[in-house]
Amino acid sequence: MKICIAGLGLIGGSLALALKRAGYKVCGYNRTREKLDYALSHGVVDEAADGFSDFDVVFVALPPEACVNFINSANFKDGAVVADICGVKRRLELEVYSRPRNFFYVGCHPMAGKEVSGVENACADLFDKASMVITTCEKTDPAAKEKIIKLTRDMGFACVVECSAAAHDKKIAYTSQLPHVLSNAYASSPSIKSSLGFTGGSFDDMTRIAGVDEVGWSSLYVINGENLAEEITTVIRALERIKEAVQSGDKKALAQVLADNKSAYVSGERSLSSPEFKITQLKKNK
């Protein structure tokens, strides 16, 4: 199986290393030559891709706009599987199916990352024990999906979650995009100055992702704006309830608000299944 990774950042580079660890030969493409040269010299990929018409599988690890442009402009092998790994899925799916294609499309989103970016931070074990979200619709080719699931297993992922692109975007607004927004907003407080000696685990947890790439994430936020704005509004309302209880000086009322939020967390954490999502635990090949 001939595999190419288009886009050699943290995620694309880690996909390449995970596939190589599993015994696959991986070719790479990057928009800037410097990162491609780094990937070649450090063994992230085996070869540079000279076109895309010979590959059986192409993972597109590019930001949404660049991903759309790449898919629309590249020449793929007839019957190839093209899998994007963007953090938003509905827009990509609509674009791919807006015209006839000679390839099979599978939408993917690996649920793993770091607070740092770049191919120099890529690692082969980034996806170990992580989940891969695969978005499907009536146009998804079953054999193409199974090919991606096999590669997902080989890369070390623990499970696959299948859902629609719309369900993915709504859920990811809460589980991924909202935490990044909250971390960024938390770090904007003037109180962050001269905090050395006053910080512990809770501060580290809150600020760990505050400094991620603002350009890339802004694109994801805007594309998924309706879902993200809804989640931000929900948090603002919850914070207003806590603020009002604090200002009132009513400890009983404040405790009740906090208990309500804790109860929502506990019940939500234990709700591990939904009709919208199909979860498959992956067993490693012997």
Same domain as 220, residue 121: no
Residue 40 CA to residue 26 CA, distance in Å, equals 11
- At residue 275, does pLDDT exceed 90? no
Counting the structural domains of the chain, the total is: 2
pLDDT at 286 over 70: no
- Strand, coil or helix: 278: strand
Least confident of 6-20, 28-42, 186-200, 272-286: 272-286
Burial class of residue 228 (count of CB atoms within 10 Å of its CB; 0-12, 13-18, 19+): buried
199 half-sphere exposure, CB direction, 13 A CA radius? 13
Name the least confident of 73-82, 118-127, 269-278: 269-278
The confidence band for 113, taking pLDDT boundaries of 50, 70 and 90, is confident
Query: What pLDDT score was predicted for residue 271?
Result: 62
User: Edge-to-edge, what's the strand order for the sheet holding 131-135?
Assistant: 47-48, 26-29, 3-6, 57-60, 81-84, 104-110, 131-135, 159-163, 278-281
Spatial distance between the Cα atoms of 48 and 52, rounded to a whole number of angstroms: 11
pLDDT tens-place string over residues 185-211: 999 999 999 998 999 999 999 999 998
Average pLDDT over residues 111-115: 89
- Per the document, the length of the chain is 286
Q: Cα separation of 77 and 74, whole Å?
A: 10
What residue type is assigned to position 177 of the chain?
Answer: Q
> Does residue 260 form part of some domain?
yes
Claim to verify: residue 192 and residue 261 sit in the same structural domain:
yes
- As a 3-state breakdown, the chain gives helix, strand, coil percent values, each rounded to 5, of 50, 15, 35
C-alpha 231/C-alpha 178 separation (Å) is 7
In this structure, the answer to whether residues 152 and 181 fall within a common structural domain is no
Look at residue 170 in the predicted model and tell me its pLDDT. 97
Q: Would residue 286 count as lying in a domain?
A: no
Judge whether residue 84 has pLDDT over 60: yes
Confirm whether 247 is domain-assigned.
yes
**Six token digits for residue 272:** 């591990």
Phi-psi region of 129 (alpha: psi -120 to 50; beta: other; left: phi over 0): left
Residue in 96, 90, 107, 69 with CA at minimum distance from that of residue 224: 90
- What is the Cα–Cα distance from 117 to 9, expressed in whole angstroms? 7
Residue 219 and residue 89 share a domain: no
Residue range 213-229: mean pLDDT, rounded = 94
Return mean pLDDT, the chain.
Answer: 94
- 284 pLDDT higher than 60: yes
Q: Checking DSSP bridges between strand 81-84 and strand 104-110, what pairing results, if any? A: parallel
* 155 and 27 both lie in a single domain: yes
Domain that includes residue 218, residue range: 169-270
pLDDT tens track for 24-67: 999 999 999 999 999 999 999 999 999 999 999 999 999 999 99
Q: Give pTM, 2 decimals.
A: 0.92
Tell me the pLDDT band of 273, cut-offs 50, 70 and 90.
Answer: low
Query: pLDDT-based confidence at 285, cuts 50/70/90?
Result: low
Task: Say whether both 110 and 187 belong to one domain.
Answer: no
